[in-house]
Chain A
Amino acid sequence: MKIRNSALAGIALAATAALGLTACGGGTPAGDSSSSAASNGGGSDGITVYNAQHESLTKEWVDAFTAETGIKVTMRQGSDTELSNQIIQEGQASPADVFLTENSPAMTQVENAGLFADVDKDTLAQVPAEFAPSTGKWTGIAARSTVLVYNKTKLTEDQLPKSMLDLANPEWKGKWAASPTGADFQAIVSALLELKGEAATGEWLKGMKENSKAYKGNSTAMKAVNAGEVDAALIYHYYYYGDQAKTGENSSNVTPYYFKNQDPGAFLSVSGAGVLKSSKNAAAAQQFLKFITGKKGQEVLKNGTSFEYAIGSEVPANDKLVPIKDLQAPKVDAAKLNSEKVTDLMTQAGLL
């Protein structure tokens, strides 16, 4: 009987170990949270960046930053709204120190949830006011322009739409593409929503559901234009320049067309960065923001392969790009862009 008891105990022990492994010590959350925070780089040895920017661009920033300061950076990759909603769900327990996005609506969402700390004054001083919200809770770090890339063997210049809104008209049925699941596209819709209101946006999205083909990712959409699967695609400018700078194999038949005239389709979207209130390493996190909006960080945009617009520290845009002042972008207050409403409208239109 004694032996049997010890056998029981042994099995129980083994099983506890197994369950412990699966639940990862679910019974001791306190002990675990400290260890997980450490392993996530939330301790004093580094910062964790929730990154919705292109991985390659942020990696350039991170490598340069770590080289200069010795501060280790851990990245978690995701899309704008995935990560913003994740940060909101995580609340005070969030392992993130810094949040970087491609577009501003997700920044506004986190700001509205009250989770951002104030950005350091030195950092804000490096960025012109039009590229940062008046609240100072986050800052712009780069910008990207909306553009219609079209296949020059299939469309001539006089066939191009005057406005982005024309793409909802029947003559464009089956002719254009976009990546509706991406944050880029959703930011364009949020600008449309801010400029033209909910009813017009809903109508336009319905037309889009009728007319457009959905691709996963802007590069893929451009590749489809290049291959002649569709005539045109509504994307951001730098996918074209990036491909041209490489092999050009996905853009050799493609030309970018800028709507200009303050059209919703000329929207200039601001990429944002902010420091979380819950950050356990706020000083290093602020330092990172200061670095990317500073001269060295912005020169990564000017000289690197991302082809996004530099906006801070008076660093000019990459020579190959149309200068920002020539884009005739509509005036949109970044702090007013609403991603939740956009997702709802897109879900209603059957695009999501």
Chain B
Amino acid sequence: MTTDLSAPARRSTTTAGRGNSPRPPFGVSAVSVLAVLIALFSLVPLGYVAYMTVATGWDTAVGLILRPRVGELLLNTLLLMAATIPLCLLLGVAGAWLVERTKVRGHRVWAVLLAAPLAVPAFVNSYAWVTAIPSLGGLGSGILISTLSYFPLVYIPAAATLSRLDPAIEQSAAALGLGAWRTFFRVVLPQLRIAMTGGALLVGLHLLAEYGAFAMIRFDTFTTAIMTQYQSTFNGAAGNMLASVLVLFCLLLLLAEVRSRGTARYARIGSGVQGKALRLPLHAYQWPAQLFLLALTALAFGLPLVYVIRWILAGGADIWTASEFLPALLTTFSYGLAGAAATTVVAFPMAYLAVRHPGWFSKSLELSNYVTSSMPGIVVALAFVTVSIRLVPGVYQTAGLLVAAYVLLFIPRALVNLRAGLAQAPKELDEAAQALGKPPLLAFIRVTLRLTAPAAAGGAALVFLAIANELTATLLLSPNGTRTLATEFWSKSSEIDYAGAAPYALLMILLSAPMTYLLFQQSKKVAGQ
């Protein structure tokens, strides 16, 4: 699961780092070696899936892939994506446009509220909806729950882009006689292309990776079926073949995103200060707009919150067994912190190369990381379990291996933020410090590292958020006796002990809320570069 929410940052960071620096702060080659090592490490899961497919043997593999069950899963997954991605784009862009470019009342509040559903893990959302409508199940429910859970992935970058869009283009369009609607479709929408393709990619990857939310409503996708196979055979050929099909899906999604992103330039050209965007008056549409925003927020954020609280009230004091939830909270915290720190450190060489030495080399390193992090947690975890049992049994079921999986799964979150931060720290400052007599490393630490710190913290916070809500990799890789908020919630809700699960759901939402807000703020800053 990646959260490359600030996708627009990718192109805005490549201008720093041109020109020849007389004295780089430290050997580029050392950084390159590190980055290559990390990239190679990140290819372990992909290599595992390829190896298992080959090892299974052609005939068996074909037999396991070309069977009716795979056809069912394929259809389910395709229909889910075909319905959910457009819906998320529609809701995300419409919401972003309303709060950023119209005179909708209370736009500041709505702007934050539309991002809020991201703080509710999809499987908590599912749990609330199943409580509200117990008969929920199948494709329709899958579309409902995933749309409500994931539309903020489109909304956040779209709102960030819209808030920084140069109004001069729209004004020109208006001056040339285009009406408001045609201006929107011919001028505004094309500018949202990066935000929309990036958001759509993220929604797609989340749909492929999601397990808990779909398992609860009896909707089978590749990921739920792999989990089922895993529970029946631990590491059977059938599960691995499903994984290889899933990996292919992820690669196709990545490719589709690269193709549809296009190569047009979106940055503003020209001098002077950008004008402030004009907000469109809504007149008679004010009430429908308010109703739309209210309904969306109520369904995506209000409903899960209300049902979590209802279960907590229904469970009374009994469900707050501190001996159980405190260790889970503490474990979640520790893994979140360790994983966030490790991911940020590991992402640094990659980000440094990408910003200061852009080129095909750094690009391909980066791509290898995106490929891995696009794989569902279950596939990465399966690879780690098998590889560690066979090759390095000493690390099997250790906290370190779990953290390593988190690093691979969530490195883009740190990477994107670090890149933006490094890009904002001009290397000329570094050079000036060196010219003033500071040794390169000291200059680097005093100047660049310090300027990058806020972005690094932002990235780390996002990784923390992801780890706190991670389920499948944690279930498979955690050391014996480990309990996190997510695994406890899952085990309680699987036993339909909904009241017992509620405190864990609430704690996950409370942990996630500040991170979501931070993400929302950060994306606006990044879009402004």
Contact = CB atoms under 8 A, between A and B. Distances in A.
A34 B316 CA distance: 44
A219 B495 CA distance: 6
Interface in A327-342: 340
Contact of B441 (A7, A39, A86): A7
A181 B228 contact: yes
B404 A23 contact: yes
A41 B230 CA distance: 25
A90 B345 contact: no
B496 A24 contact: no
A167 to B, nearest CB: 19
Contact of B34 (A6, A7, A15, A90): A15
Interface in A171-214: 181, 186, 213-214
B392 A95 contact: no
Contacts of A21: 338, 342, 345, 400, 403-404
Contacts of B407: 22
A181 to B, nearest CB: 4
Interface in B390-406: 392-401, 403-404
B106 interface: no
Interface in A7-49: 7-8, 10-12, 14-15, 17-19, 21-26, 28-33, 36, 39-41, 48
Contact of B72 (A83, A89, A350): A350
A79 B233 CA distance: 10
B135 A229 contact: yes
B491 A77 contact: yes
B342 A215 contact: no
A217 interface: yes
Interface residues on chain B, size class: 35 or more
Contacts of A55: 491
B387 to A, nearest CB: 10
Nearest to B230: A82
Give the residue among A23, A39, A76, A214 with the most B Cβ atoms within 10 A.
A23
Nearest to B25: A7
A7 B26 contact: yes
Contacts of A90: 389, 393, 396
Given A82-B230, A217-B495, A93 B389 contact: yes
Contacts of B233: 81-82, 85, 340, 343
A236 to B, nearest CB: 14
A88 B234 CA distance: 10
A14 B395 contact: no
B31 interface: yes
A250 interface: yes
Nearest to B70: A350
Contact of B404 (A22, A81, A88, A215): A22
Interface of A is mostly: helix
A343 B441 contact: no
A22 B346 contact: yes
Contacts of B444: 7
A181 B232 contact: yes
B349 interface: yes
A10 B441 contact: yes
Contacts of A86: 234
A154 to B, nearest CB: 14
A320 interface: no
Interface in B470-529: 479-481, 491, 494-496
A220 interface: yes
Contact of B216 (A19, A39, A216): A216
Nearest to B35: A15
Contact of A250 (B30, B231, B496): B496
B224 to A, nearest CB: 9
B135 A223 contact: no
A343 B236 contact: yes
B134 interface: yes
A26 B395 CA distance: 7
Contacts of B135: 227, 229
Interface string B68-89: 1100100000000000000000
A181 B400 CA distance: 30
Given A95-B480, A214-B218, A350 B397 contact: no
B30 A40 contact: no
A80 to B, nearest CB: 9
B440 A3 contact: yes
Contact of B346 (A18, A81, A85): A18
A77 B481 CA distance: 8
A74 interface: yes
Contacts of A181: 228, 231-232
A32 B230 CA distance: 26
Contacts of B491: 55, 77
Given A26-B392, A36-B479, A11 B31 contact: yes
B238 A24 contact: no
A301 B394 CA distance: 38
Contacts of B320: none
A29 B392 contact: yes
B67 interface: yes
Given A29-B395, A85-B233, A85-B234, A4 B400 contact: no
Nearest to B390: A89
A18 B394 CA distance: 18
Interface in B453-482: 479-481
Nearest to A30: B394
B481 A352 contact: no
Given A19-B38, A81-B231, A82-B230, A24 B404 contact: yes
Pick the most buried of B38, B232, B441: most chain A CB atoms within 10 A of its CB. Answer: B232
B215 interface: yes
Contacts of A30: 394
B424 interface: no
A18 B339 CA distance: 11
A347 interface: yes
B184 interface: no
A310 B328 CA distance: 32
Interface string B354-387: 0000000000000000000000000000000110
Interface in B136-183: none
A33 B342 CA distance: 22
A178 B495 CA distance: 15
A93 B385 CA distance: 13
B228 A352 contact: yes
Contacts of B399: 24
A11 B35 CA distance: 12
Contacts of B134: 223, 227, 229
Contacts of A83: 234
Contacts of B218: 213-216
B481 A74 contact: yes
A93 B375 CA distance: 28
B327 interface: no
Contacts of A11: 26-27, 30-31, 34
Contact of B41 (A8, A23, A85): A23
Contacts of A39: 398, 479
Interface in B215-239: 215-216, 218, 225, 228-236, 238
B37 interface: yes
Contacts of B396: 36, 90, 93
Contacts of B216: 216
A254 interface: no
Across the A-B interface, give the 6 residue pairs with the lowest CB-CB distance, nearest first: A24-B400, A85-B234, A29-B394, A32-B394, A7-B441, A33-B394
24 contacts: A3-B440, A4-B27, A7-B25, A10-B441, A11-B27, A11-B34, A21-B338, A22-B41, A23-B395, A24-B401, A25-B400, A36-B397, A40-B481, A74-B480, A76-B481, A81-B232, A82-B230, A85-B235, A85-B236, A89-B235, A186-B232, A216-B216, A217-B494, A343-B233
Given A12-B34, A24-B395, 4 more contacts: A22-B407, A25-B395, A28-B394, A216-B218
